[in-house]
Structure 1
Amino acid sequence: MDAEQAHHLVMFAIRFAGAIGLTKLAKLRPSAYASVQAFGLHFDAPFGLAAGFDKNAVAIKALGELGFSHVEIGTVTAIAQGGNEKPRLFRLIPDRALVNRMGFNNQGAEVIANRLEFLREKHGTKLPIIGVNIGKSKIVDVELAHEDYRQSARLLAPHADYLAVNVSSPNTPGLRSLQSVKALEPILTAVLEEAKGTPVLVKIAPDLANADIAAVADLALDLGLAGVIATNTTISRENLKTNRSKVEAAGAGGLSGAPLKQRSLEVLRLLNARMNGRAAIVSVGGIETPAEASERIANGATLVQGYTGWIYQGPLWARKINKHFSKK
């Protein structure tokens, strides 16, 4: 089956299972977990779902019941957009990886803000921690990116537990150029102004040079950000097991999954050494097992996230990892 069609089928199944109460059967009591306090929020467990799976905030409650302590929705843009031309999602099965060039397909900040408001009113404390990942609308010039992010933050911050500023996807033209400190500072400043106390984090790419990672960490500390999320997908195609012709056929896009393990861990260690506990670090990229999640915590991560591992490990993957962090 086409990878994107499979995603939509799985999303339908999760929503249906949640609607009839099946996902509740997988839920562990919060008291069974080792909870985490981070940027003023209480997380029942360390492991959550990274952005990209639930782009439009349609399955948050069910995803929480399947074991994720927090669900980061999006990426959401101020202006609704259909994303890039299909096909745009590919499996590299020998590498337990995905290649995507989705292009921030989503229903837009206003629609998703209204949906989140409805979810809060309907389910209240039954929801997991909700992070909202925001990105630049494709049709907006890079020079006006700060105002585009400002609009998303203004609409979404009142309904989010935290905001994640995505400047690191390789699938929106010019977006990664916003990771330079000069371009990033006005964006983060604008988001912080609109967040009005909602924690703000920035999500960075694994392909940044080490010096640039240090510069972003310093900026995050200077501006008083809640933390850094590391890392997004990579444009690298090095050391893959999948047949080269299949990799080339997949084409451009961000690579996620097991091949990111080493670099994601390296970036975590760099950030931890630079930030020294002064802000949170959310580690994501290549995590597949409870032991790997524990390794990230041991190397300075406050929280850990996954997405691609779920595709290959099955529906109870998050429950298994968070159960590993039990109070016992």
Structure 2
Amino acid sequence: MYRLLFRLLLRRLSAETAHHLGFGLLRFLMAIPGVRALAKRLLGPRDPRLSVRAFGLDFPGPLGLAAGFDKDARGFEALGALGFAFVEIGTVTGEAQSGNPRPRLFRLEQDRALVNRMGFNNEGSRRAAERLEKRKPGGVVVGVNIGKTKVVPESEAAADYVASAERLAAHADYLVVNVSSPNTPGLRDLQSTEKLRPILVEVRAALDRACPARRVPLLVKIAPDLADEDIDAIGDLARELGLDGIIATNTTIRRDGLVTDPARVSEIGAGGLSGKPVKARALVVLRRLRARVGDSLVLVAAGGVEDADDAWERIAAGATLVQAYTAFVYEGPTFARRIHEGIVARMQAEGLGSIAELVGRDAR
């Protein structure tokens, strides 16, 4: 049904307009009494073999929704009702900002991909904190992804991240420092360890000050375009600083291997490419991180996860959790359920009793 709707309507709209329309409709439907509970029963992961323990948290399954879909914490519970075991909101910045000019989100349907140059458009970390403060106990696990405000100079980047961390610490199940989006000028430069170190140190201290009763797990999200030695360096830094995990990976600036007409790709221009074309490199980065850090950190796999086999491969390579985004846009509301059901089928076939038995199996 969704694929028919996509072909007949959504693909005829601009990608950003379709997103707002679809997300608004989802929030409206889930606000109807009883609908969210029904959706959760029908679509949510129920098999206990899917359960994952990470960051001191219990996840009903390994698949979550990556940051970028719910930028301002408007509909995380509605998205959780679609079967995602966790939802990462954001990226939010210290101050509200409108992002880059439209059009800034594009579909590459032949490649099962998206190109975005949104530029961290969001209402700011204060507004996100206000919405998250209204969360009710027992809801979906919510991660918060924070980035640098565009107008803030590099010399003040740490303070900008700290401001968001302090506001959001009490409301985030885990927090992610995003230094890997290609759409904020100079942001990826912060992935160098000499620049990343003070940001992570100060954010960790801010989380501990703002939420002394609970350790808020801290992760960093990296780009697939890093050189191998830089991946190793970030892995070493994360271990040294006692980070809780790494998300691998964000979008890529590369355009090689695409099926889409090169003229169309050139017309779209700059931005981060997500979806199927990122799959191979994201897996390489994940495997390199696992080889470097072992099981000392929680690795979260993202980038090109389209089906249960992709999720299975990432978990076997060392990921404890998996995130998707672009495939959800193309596949629709039953996407998460199909992923979880597919994983259960493979577990059954291989006689596995838990996800933990699969994590890192190929790396051992």
Q: Which interval holds the TM-score relative to the shorter structure?
A: over 0.9
Is 1:44 aligned to residue 60 of structure 2? yes
Aligned to 1:157: 169
How far residue 280 of structure 1 moved from its aligned partner, in angstroms, is 0.4
Give per-residue Cα distances to partners, 1:42-94, cap 9 Å, x unaligned. 11100000000000011111111101000000000010001000000000000
Deviations 1:9-62 (A, max 9, x none): 011011011101434333246542410011111111000000000000111111
State the partner residue of 1:124: 137
TM-score by length of 2: 0.87
Question: How far, CA to CA, are the matches of 1:314 and 1:55 in structure 2?
Answer: 18
CA distance in 1, matches of 2:75, 2:181: 23
Contact 2:93/2:147 (CA < 8 Å) preserved in 1? yes
The number of residues matched between the two structures is: 324
**Counterparts of 2:329 and 2:123, CA distance in 1:** 24
Gaps of 5+ in 1: none
- The residue matched to 1:27 in structure 2 has which SS? helix
**Distance (Å, rounded) in 2 between the aligned partners of 1:57 and 1:192:** 22
3-state SS of paired residue (1:124): coil
Q: Give the stretch that moved more between structures: 24-33 or 193-202.
A: 24-33
Aligned equivalent of 1:88: 104
Shift of 1:323: 2.6
Identity over aligned residues, as a percent? 57
Amino acid at match of 1:254: G
Alignment of 1:25-104 (within 5 A): 25-28=38-41, 31-33=46-48, 34-104=50-120
Query: Quick one: distance in 1 between partners of 2:325 and 2:29?
Result: 19
Distance 1:31 1:4, change over 3 A: closer
Name the SS of the counterpart of 2:29 in structure 1.
helix
Structure 1 residues 24 and 243 mapped into 2: Cα distance closer, same or farther (>3 Å)? Answer: farther
Computing the radius of gyration over CA atoms, which structure comes out larger, 1 or 2?
2
- For the 8 Å contact 2:15–2:106, the answer to whether it is kept is yes
**Are 1:3 and 2:9 counterparts?**
no
Deviates more, 1:315-324 or 1:107-116: 315-324
Match of 1:201 among 201, 213, 219: 219
- The equivalent residue for 1:144 is 156
Amino acid at match of 1:104: F
Q: Deviations over 1:283-322 (max 9, x none)?
A: 0000101111011001100100000001111211011112
- Residues of 1 paired with 2:36 and 2:277: CA distance? 30
Q: Which amino acid in the other structure matches residue 40 of structure 2? A: K
Matched, 1:276 2:294: yes
Distance in 2 between the 1:31 and 1:257 partners?
27
Q: Which residue of 2 aligns with 1:234?
A: 252
Moved more, 312-321 or 135-144: 312-321
Say whether the 8 Å CA contact 1:26–1:319 is kept in structure 2.
no
Q: RMSD value over aligned CA atoms? A: 1.2
Structural mapping, 1:162-201, within 5 Å:
162-196=174-208, 197-201=215-219
**Separation in 2, partners of 1:79, 1:236:** 29
Note the alpha carbon deviations across 1:234-262, whole angstroms, 9 max, x for none.
00000100011111111100000000110
Q: Secondary structure at the residue paired with 1:228?
A: strand
